[in-house]
Structure 1
Amino acid sequence: MDAVLLAELIAFNGIETTFNDAWGQPCQVSEPDQLALLSAMGYPVQDEAACRQELLQRQLDYWQQLIAPVSVQQQDELGWQLEVMVPLALANTDFTLTLTTEQGATQQWPLLPVDGELTQVVVLDGEEYQQYLHHIAYPLTAGYHQLELRCSGTDLLVNQQLIISPGHCYQPAEFSQRKQWGSAIQLYALRSERNWGIGDFSDLQALIRYLAKQGADFIGLNPIHALYPALADNASPYSPSSRRWLNIIYLDVTATPGFNDNAALQAHLKQPAVQQAIVAARQQDWVDYPAVMALKLPALKLCYQWFIDNKAAQPELAAAFDAFKAAGGNSLAQLALYDALHAWLYQQDSQYWGWPNWPEQYRDPDSDAVQQFAAEHAAELDFYIYLQFLAQQQLSEAQQLATAQGMLLGLYRDLAVGVSEASTEIWGNPELYCRDASVGAPPDPLGPTGQNWGLPPMKPFQLYQQGYQPFIELLRANMQHAGALRIDHVMALLRLWWVPKTAANAGSGAYVYYPIMDLLGILALESQRQQVVVIGEDLGTVPEGIRELLQQFGIYSYRVFFFETAPDGGYISPAHYPLQAMATLSTHDLPTLIGFWHCEDLKLGQQLGLYRDEGQLQQLYQQRHANKQRILDSLHGHGRLPADYPRSVDQLAMDRTLNFAMQQHLAAGAQQLLCLQIEDWLEMTQPVNVPGTSNEYPNWRRKLSQPLEQWTQEPHIAALLQQLTALRRQ
């Protein structure tokens, strides 16, 4: 391709062709990989003339707007700014600018484009376009305001949402008084003597009561986004169907309204076959998602039928459901439609895994066939809406309990970086996503050959054209019933690694940039409004200056002990961690402490074929041995181990003394927030997820080794947690 045209395409689409990898080495994106990515973005790269025309059309789409559909600016006592883009013929034309504030107040100004500061000039298709910057000396409060620009004497009218950001995320006043700690859990992994084979919202309440008593301030959850009730085995919480709604598999049937009065449900549950199936699911060491869903859906349908039959006798419940339904709007109705239609089609043919391979007439939610289905199955759609209502209720009750029990933050939720290709989010808004590419990561320590997550990325310009509304709605939904929110792969606010579907491997991609300042501004605004602390998972390849920018916006860094190393290879003392951070020993993508110490992850990786060759594996073993010695040296240096404890890792297995010493070492750190895993309190070895695998390992299924009722009675665990509380409050 012509070099000038390629450079224009790369610049216009925000593609980065050179970057530093996770080891600090410069990397170059090859021209074939650049062209593959442009092709995925919809450019006919094999035809230069057609490619030029496509680029021109997209440039005109931008320049012919007059004003942008959305503008995000920081609150300023001097006012705000407006960029106006006009063809030369309109540069001296009179306009009227009308502001309507979020509070409903209005203000008007006459506006002549040339009175502003000329900031850019382009010539497209023989016509000149000019951009002028106007300073409006009218201070605004943080919020969502509306602008209308009208060309005098004509019907030409354009609108903009003006978002004024406070510029800083929420931080509780209590943070200045003491430091906090909590635990991260995979909710599905909780065992109990009462659940139906998967951790549920009632198990979460039991855990809240226990941890609050030990002094914990929060409980971190895996993403609890809506998955696929019709295809329950698609269990990855990071490949959801909708990030705005909840996974109904976490519902506790026994905590639903009218449970004790529901004669049909009680009769159903007394059947020996049902009782046996519940016990069997509960006894499994790995969550059997299809079995659990097969237990819960029939029971929940009886719950819904009780609600329908008793609406008149339950006016408060009925009113709450109606209000929830109205507030959920099109997004909730679309999720229910998707779930009902998916179940209906999947019953007919198990090959119908998602909307991309459904019969053609069902691939558009607005099609006549889909609308006819919705009309004919209205009760089924209402059933799925009711399940979302129940899930929101049970989650809300958990957060209310956490607050009542004295937890400062309560629930700490997790927002996944994307949705799967079969998702209802893409079904309902396909123009927002690039389905010919996937989000992933270049080679790094977590994935030596790169990662392809199978998640179509949002198109930056489409997100902008939609006024960032999908992003705003995501934040609002996930900040509900929570005191903190983790943004998975927070670098996505700046850039995402796009891997074209045609790529030979995950390394054959490139970074695509996003409007980070706009997205950070919105994040700060929603954080303040919802009073939710934001933690940014800033692992992997982090460009220079980005952690400082995130800090400036009040976002808490995410520091994993094993990754916090000094130039000499030693581990940085947690006493030197930044205050504005959450620290953790391990994550759902890493081995447990015992798994790390005994190299169980390396043995498993070898079995699964994750390493290039024996040489790479041996190098990892040698590095692990050296790392273990450095950890042991550090623990002794900080006085976390008894003086007579071994000082050499040779032949040293991890015991409880060493395990707990590592947790206490991190608890004494300088960071504001500490997050630890229950797996390490239970001294477990198996990981919950192995990055870079799909069917090779049963990811997202491993349960905890003991039920809640058992391990919460263990004196040594209670003693550890009380020590963590004491160390955090020093």
Structure 2
Amino acid sequence: MTELSPRLSALAEAYGVATEFWDWQGRHVQVSAETVGAALAALGVQVADEADVEAALAEVDRRPWTRVLPPVVVTVQGRRPEVPVHVAEGVRFEARVVLEDGHVHEVGTLEGDGRPRATRELDGVTVVRVPLDLGEDLPLGWHTVEVAAGRNVRRMPLVVTPARLELPEVLAEQDSQSWGLMTQLYAMRSDESWGIGDLADLGDAGAWAAGLGADFVLVNPLHAAEPVPPIEPSPYLPTSRRFVNPLYIRVEDVPEVAYLSAAERQLVEWHADDAKRYLDLDLIERDAVWMAKEAALRMIFRQRRSLRRARAFHAFVEREGQGLVDYATWCALSQVHGTWWRSWPEELQDPRGAAVEAFREKNADEVEFHCWLQWILDDQLARVQRDLVDTGMSIGLISDLAVGVHPDGADAWGLGDALARGVTVGAPADQYNQLGQDWSQPPWRPDKLAELGYAPYRDMVRAALRDSGGLRVDHVIGLFRLWWIPQGRKPFEGTYVRYDHEATIGILLLEAHRAGAVVVGEDLGTVEPWVRDYLRDRGVMGTSILWFERDWEGDGGLLEPQEWRELCLATVTTHDLPPTAGYLEGVHVELRHRLGLLDRSLEEEQAADAASRDEVLGDLRRRGLLREGAPVPEQVEALHAFLTRTPAKLLGVSVSDLAGDKRVINQPGTDEEYPNWRVPLAGPEGHAVRLEELFTWRSARRLARTVDQGH
């Protein structure tokens, strides 16, 4: 490992690249010069030698003085934002804020006269830094600062965000709790599903849960996947986080089905029967299901639309703008050239190039088809949320936002250099993955996000919240810092890169406030202590998993229920663990052993795992929640009953636990070694279970009532 020079360390700090950190065991780790250099290269800074380092440091110092305004300012309502304006000495300029609603907030006329202000000689010109005080009465929203000197006008986005995201009324009351379902939608199938769970199934499951007192349904990311096989099974490795996977469309619910001829209807039924054959298989068959569903949808797409529907479609395309056009164009290009856009002809790798524009014009119908699919999804998602609220849920749908996107997907193509090249996102070593993890996703570039005024990030968050009452942010710590791994290196050879969390969290809260939504941050794993305090103070809920809630700063013992966080989603399990019945039987240990993921013997791991489980179950018996010798189903109920004794505002119940499923949904650290994200919902014996059957089970209703009656 090459040691860092002091000047390279200073450059890394200027760009938010960590040169040291403390690992999960509390050990101090020094990052190598090679890793730091690779991270800087991904930020557009080449440092082959010390001369490069000195030149880059000089540019960091010089750059702000070359700009009249910074790229963007994100502030908090009630705070007095001060914007540095750089003008030539003696230049008079006018400043104002154009509010989002068009009203103008005048700042006044100022002069760069050098009075106790910082100055700098730049290319023979004396530049003055004038602090522009915008006041403290600016409303929430996306505004624009304008600075005019003569005919020259410079503009800068100004984002005013809430200091705190307040809870909805149902949760704001003291000692209030709400519970809801957590589900992998693709796995939750009904007799009417085309081989995979869809939005109609989501609505039906929510209506059933609402009848038992549930207030929300938290669903896995519904982000868009590839439009052609092979389709990536992981909902956490999408092609786009802004758009939705057409696999989740319920074909029969598209209004234009009404205009099909008898022969066309028969063809749709034939495609449906073909897809439903896959309901009887042990694994989800996305590729085959999509081939059947796509054929039916293309037939429906060609039907006439009423004037009302045609205008609604046009309004949707206008609202989504260039982002939708780029996504649909990538889908159309993928039909011809495959989904790995970096293998396309070079002229098609630039979404703003003439070749892409020519392709779009020539294939306008195909581009429109993919826009239409997103419109149908938007309509069906909105209907699900309306129906959930109408059935009595106070929150309704809680969407899930993945950490990143596929490196060869639509976002990676359409967003250009807003995403870093040459590095991937992952996680450092921890107690569960001691070699670290590489998620193969390109990270946001913090500098480019700022230059773009955070517009791509805002559009993504806004889309995720549009038809939801809440948003779960996977790996919310990534809004503060992300683990960047240089290509070709092992996961543990990465380093952290910091983001402007005041901006990323602030924009998230602004969009959630406007949507009237709650925000849940998945804050598990290696987390700096102050981060959880910051999220709590700004109204972002955390995530608490029963098995991991211990006094980590003390003796490591189990937390008393009253010591749990109030502002959190509390659950017994998560998608990276087996369903609770499987966890209680240790299936995860056996699976990790079979896959070679253990760093100690099977016997040692089983003993440690059993001791941890026995400690929890013993605590339940001590509290009178569990009788001695109780079978696994009663243990599952007791674990959920314990959650109701905590102050947690939200309680989540996995649909897999309702079914008594035991199979692992996702085994971290694996790819093809295990069928991650392809396991359908099953019962205790491993046989597939349909929603209609699950709704009749007394055991499912009993578990739901356990959390409902507990509070």
Using the size of structure 2 for normalisation, the TM-score is 0.94
Rounded to whole Å, the distance in 2 between the matches of 1:425 and 1:725 is 41
From 671, 679, 700, the equivalent of 1:717 is 700
Give the AA of the match of 2:39: L
Aligned to 1:345: 337
Rounded to whole Å, the distance in 2 between the matches of 1:26 and 1:114 is 49
- Cα deviation per residue 1:494-516 (whole Å; 9 max; x = unaligned)? 1111001031x101011001001
Aligned to 2:68: 66
The structural deviation recorded for 1:59 is: 4.7
Aligned to 1:678: 655
Q: 1:56–1:124: 8 Å Cα contact kept in structure 2?
A: no
SS in 2 for 1:687: coil
From 203, 206, 218, the equivalent of 1:205 is 203
Ranked by relative contact order (alpha carbons within 8 Å, sequence separation 6 or more), the top structure is 1
* More moved, 564-573 vs 249-258: 564-573
* More moved, 382-391 vs 99-108: 99-108
Rounded to whole Å, the distance in 2 between the matches of 1:265 and 1:446 is 52
The structural deviation recorded for 1:418 is: 1.1
Give the AA of the match of 2:238: P
Aligned to 2:620: 635
The structural deviation recorded for 1:460 is: 0.6
From 266, 269, 274, the equivalent of 1:277 is 274
- Cα deviation per residue 1:17-39 (whole Å; 9 max; x = unaligned)? 22222333332223332233233
The structural deviation recorded for 1:95 is: 1.8
Structure 1 position 424 matched with structure 2 position 416: no
Structure 1 position 574 matched with structure 2 position 573: no
From 534, 541, 560, the equivalent of 2:526 is 541
Give the AA of the match of 1:603: E
- Cα deviation per residue 1:455-500 (whole Å; 9 max; x = unaligned)? 1111111101111111111111110111110111111111111001
The structural deviation recorded for 1:446 is: 3.5
Aligned to 2:686: none
The structural deviation recorded for 1:74 is: 1.4
Using the size of structure 1 for normalisation, the TM-score is 0.91
The structural deviation recorded for 1:389 is: 0.7
Rounded to whole Å, the distance in 2 between the matches of 1:200 and 1:717 is 21
Q: 2:99–2:143: 8 Å Cα contact kept in structure 1?
A: yes
Aligned to 1:7: 9
Aligned to 1:184: 182
Structure 1 position 699 matched with structure 2 position 699: no
- Cα deviation per residue 1:267-303 (whole Å; 9 max; x = unaligned)? 21354xx465223211122111110111101000011
Rounded to whole Å, the distance in 2 between the matches of 1:52 and 1:210 is 64
The structural deviation recorded for 1:56 is: 3.8
The structural deviation recorded for 1:52 is: 3.6
Rounded to whole Å, the distance in 2 between the matches of 1:53 and 1:672 is 52
SS in 1 for 2:255: coil
From 295, 311, 319, the equivalent of 2:311 is 319
- Cα deviation per residue 1:555-614 (whole Å; 9 max; x = unaligned)? 0111111111124343213332121111111111112212222221111112212234x4
Aligned to 2:25: 23
SS in 1 for 2:210: helix
* More moved, 407-416 vs 467-476: 467-476
How many residue pairs match? The answer is 697
Aligned to 1:520: 505
From 379, 395, 398, the equivalent of 2:381 is 395
Aligned to 1:531: 516
The structural deviation recorded for 1:621 is: 2.2
Give the AA of the match of 1:285: D
SS in 1 for 2:386: helix
From 149, 167, 170, the equivalent of 1:171 is 167
Structure 1 pair 156/281, CA: closer, same or farther in 2 (3 Å)?
same
* More moved, 109-118 vs 191-200: 109-118
Rounded to whole Å, the distance in 2 between the matches of 1:287 and 1:634 is 38
SS in 2 for 1:259: helix
Q: 1:192–1:707: 8 Å Cα contact kept in structure 2?
A: yes
Aligned to 2:637: 660
Residue ranges of structure 1 left out of the alignment (5+ in a row): 347-352, 647-651
Rounded to whole Å, the distance in 2 between the matches of 1:244 and 1:266 is 32
Structure 1 pair 145/385, CA: closer, same or farther in 2 (3 Å)?
same
Structure 1 pair 169/345, CA: closer, same or farther in 2 (3 Å)?
same
Q: 1:402–1:410: 8 Å Cα contact kept in structure 2?
A: yes
Rounded to whole Å, the distance in 2 between the matches of 1:510 and 1:297 is 42
Q: Map residues 378-457 of structure 1 onto 2, 5 A cutoff.
A: 378-457=364-443
The structural deviation recorded for 1:345 is: 1.9
Structure 1 position 162 matched with structure 2 position 158: yes
The structural deviation recorded for 1:141 is: 1.3
SS in 1 for 2:302: helix
- Cα deviation per residue 1:431-451 (whole Å; 9 max; x = unaligned)? 111120011110113422101
Rounded to whole Å, the distance in 2 between the matches of 1:315 and 1:165 is 39
Structure 1 pair 561/132, CA: closer, same or farther in 2 (3 Å)?
farther
Q: Map residues 609-648 of structure 1 onto 2, 5 A cutoff.
A: 609-612=596-599, 614-615=600-601, 617-642=602-627, 645-646=628-629
SS in 2 for 1:485: strand
Rounded to whole Å, the distance in 1 between the matches of 2:21 and 2:9 is 16
Structure 1 pair 530/637, CA: closer, same or farther in 2 (3 Å)?
same
Q: Map residues 364-379 of structure 1 onto 2, 5 A cutoff.
A: 364-379=350-365
From 34, 40, 46, the equivalent of 2:48 is 46
Give the AA of the match of 1:304: F
Aligned to 1:349: none
Structure 1 pair 116/619, CA: closer, same or farther in 2 (3 Å)?
farther
Q: 2:481–2:498: 8 Å Cα contact kept in structure 1?
A: yes
Structure 1 pair 138/25, CA: closer, same or farther in 2 (3 Å)?
closer
From 29, 36, 39, the equivalent of 1:37 is 39
Structure 1 pair 270/596, CA: closer, same or farther in 2 (3 Å)?
closer
Rounded to whole Å, the distance in 1 between the matches of 2:155 and 2:272 is 59
Q: 1:495–1:513: 8 Å Cα contact kept in structure 2?
A: yes
Rounded to whole Å, the distance in 1 between the matches of 2:678 and 2:15 is 39
Give the AA of the match of 1:635: L
Give the AA of the match of 2:161: S
Rounded to whole Å, the distance in 1 between the matches of 2:101 and 2:315 is 23
